[in-house]
Amino acid sequence: VFFLTHQFLKLCHVVKAALCVCGFHPECSLGVDVQADVVLLVDGSYSIGVTNFAKVRAFLEVLVNTFDIGPNKVQIALVQYSRDPYTEFYLNTHQDVNAVVKAVRTFPYRGGSTNTGRAMTYVREKIFQTSRGARANVPRVTILITDGKSSDAFKDPATKLRNTDVEIFAVGVKDAVRSELEAIANAPAETHVYTVEDFDAFQRISKELTQSICLRIEQEIRSIFQRRNDVSASSFRATWTAAPGNVQAYKVRWKSLFSGEQGDKTVPGDQTSTVLDGLSPETRYQVSVIAAYDQKDSEPLTGLETTDVPAFKAPRNLLTSEPTKTSFRVSWDPAPGDVRGYRVTFHPSGNDVDLGELMVPGTVSSTVLKQLQPDTEYSVTVVPVYPEMEGKSMSETGKTSGVKNLKVVDPSISTLTVRWDPAVGNVRTYKVFYAAQPGGQQETQVSGLTTSTVLTELSPDTEYRVTVVPVYEDVEGNRMSENGKTSEFLPNRTGPWFCRPPGVLTALCGPFAEVLGGVKNLQVTDPTTSSLRVRWEAAEGNVRQYRIFYVPAAGGAEDMVGGRAGPVLD
């Protein structure tokens, strides 16, 4: 029995031309567009030392220049590890070879122990993720460079990394253990494991290593292209060459590597292909085929295959709202299926390095991003996390904000007008706080569609601190404050001055008085032997009533009328 499909046995293709032109001419043969996600996993332990680490950087630069780097070409990530792994840059951090080379030349030497197993787990869980730039149906390569024996368990992490379709190459320097490198890297070791006696010998292996990497990438590209029509989210086709002799049937068995899911079927002996359906999406399966004869069965041959990502397996209608000076809300429609959680990543637009990340449960479809930079646009990506792997991502932008251009204008003796620019997002109401300095705080609210209000019944000649706060569905936005002062109580009189009672803001004191913020254009007309008509322009604000005081100009007793609401009095 012999498997022909991708992932069962990776057959070597016949290479008709040169394998790879290395150095500063990134060119792989076979006439295909080269796409790949490559992770450089570099030992930065104390045993290397500063001098040798500079030689590691130079070797990495040679490797980087092998590839044509770009968002739709080869992407490079760099992880340095010692006791703990550290991401120097992600797959989608740098967009061209110059940027990658600059980063490789300058990343620091960190030092520590040599936990290679932990580093490979980190690459699988944190680097080969869609939120970090990893792409579906693109060859994945990890190049490990180390100078010593691992301080932790490494076999299981290496197996798990290879089982996610990652091709591992291992380079050992000086005290590295070759048997350990062979257990980590893919087979055959002749093309995937390289050892040198010291750091000066990197040049000797650089050409052979880069040629092997280029060849495996090209083979993988061809295999991916050939198999896509036979792999879906719930099925794939297994194909094999006929076994020798009188085969009665083929027994096909499969099981998930990550759960108890398994199945089997029998195929007639004259068939060499079958479709396995009813499978789980994005799941890695081990498949075995056994040739059944009259008297006995053959030994099983096995291989691996992964079902595809289902269509629309991503959150939809991603929105940002409720911005404040240092936060905003992110919400989305849930992705279908058994979502265990959502990975939310965010960074200032144009700055991919300053990356924030949080996880929310699969039952939640919104979260508030906090401790953000004021008045800054952010790129936000939400990725659903399923039991086996991550789903498709969706991205949106959001901006921190709040009330802007708050102004306190048009003062009178008892009122101030407050105006502001509308805050971003779906504002329900605005809270307006105001307080005399010193004095107790008062509050009023206006509709979220309103951007001004008049504060009334204030004290004259008094400074107020005014604060406006946008209120969203369940959070308050950024507050902004400004000062304003009411006008001074200044009578302008030409005759006797009377005020009943002194300081009452609703009183017009004396027929010859003109009070700032009070009535204007006072007119006395239509005289008769016993009456006068008095007219005026209405005062600003919520006037409860007008009081009219009058006294004969030649002298005499003062009288008053009041309680009338209109600006005309007979």
Each domain of the chain, given as residue ranges in start order, spans: 36-226, 234-306, 316-399, 404-485, 520-569
**Tens-place pLDDT, residues 112-121:** 899 999 999 9
* 187-229 per-position pLDDT tens digit: 888 889 998 888 887 777 877 888 888 887 877 766 665 555 5
Q: pLDDT of 516-526, one tens digit each?
A: 456 778 888 88
pLDDT band at 22 (very low <50, low <70, confident <90, very high): very low
Residues 6+ apart with CB under 8 A from 12: 219
* Per-residue pLDDT at 17 exceeds 60: no
Q: What is the mean pLDDT of the chain?
A: 80
Please tell me the predicted confidence (pLDDT) of residue 488.
81
**Per-residue DSSP letters for 492-518?**
--SS----SSTT-TT---STT---TTS
End-to-end CA gap in the chain: 115
pLDDT of residue 23: 30
- Which own/partner pairs from 462-467 qualify as long-range (CB within 8 Å, at least 24 positions apart)? 462/436, 462/486, 463/436, 463/437, 464/408, 464/416, 464/434, 464/435, 464/436, 464/437, 465/434, 465/435, 465/437, 466/406, 466/408, 466/416, 466/418, 466/432, 466/433, 466/434, 467/432, 467/433, 467/434
User: Taken in order 523, 525, 529, 530, is the CA torsion positive or negative?
Assistant: negative
Percentage of the chain surpassing pLDDT 70?
Answer: 81
pLDDT in tens, 496-518: 333 333 333 333 443 333 344 56
Report the alpha-carbon distance of residue 288 to residue 254 in Å, rounded: 6
pLDDT reported for residue 180: 93
- Using DSSP's 3-state secondary structure scheme, residue 50 falls into helix
Which run of H or E residues covers position 454?
Answer: strand 452-455
Q: What percent of the chain has pLDDT over 90?
A: 32
Q: Are 536 and 520 in contact (CB under 8 A)?
A: yes
CA–CA distance, 360 with 150 (Å, rounded to integer): 34
Assign domain 234-306 to its CATH architecture.
Sandwich (2.60)
Is domain 36-226 annotated with CATH 3.40.50.410? yes
Instruction: Report the Cα 557 to chain-centroid distance in Å.
Output: 79
The fold of 316-399 is Immunoglobulin-like (2.60.40)
Domain 404-485 part of CATH 2.60.40.10: yes
pLDDT band at 560; cut points 50, 70, 90 = low
* Length of the chain counted residue by residue: 570
Q: What is the pLDDT of residues 128-167, one digit of tens each?
A: 988 888 887 788 999 999 988 899 999 999 999 998 889 9
Q: Which H or E run contains 372? A: none
Looking at per-residue pLDDT, the higher value among 53 and 539 belongs to 53
DSSP-based three-state secondary structure for 62: helix
* Signed CA dihedral, 111, 117, 123, 125: sign only: negative
Q: Render pLDDT for 219-234 as a digit per residue (tens, 0 to 9).
A: 776 666 555 557 887 8
Which amino acid does the sequence have at 162? R
The answer to whether 139 and 108 have CB atoms below 8 angstroms apart is no
Fold identical between 234-306 and 316-399?
yes
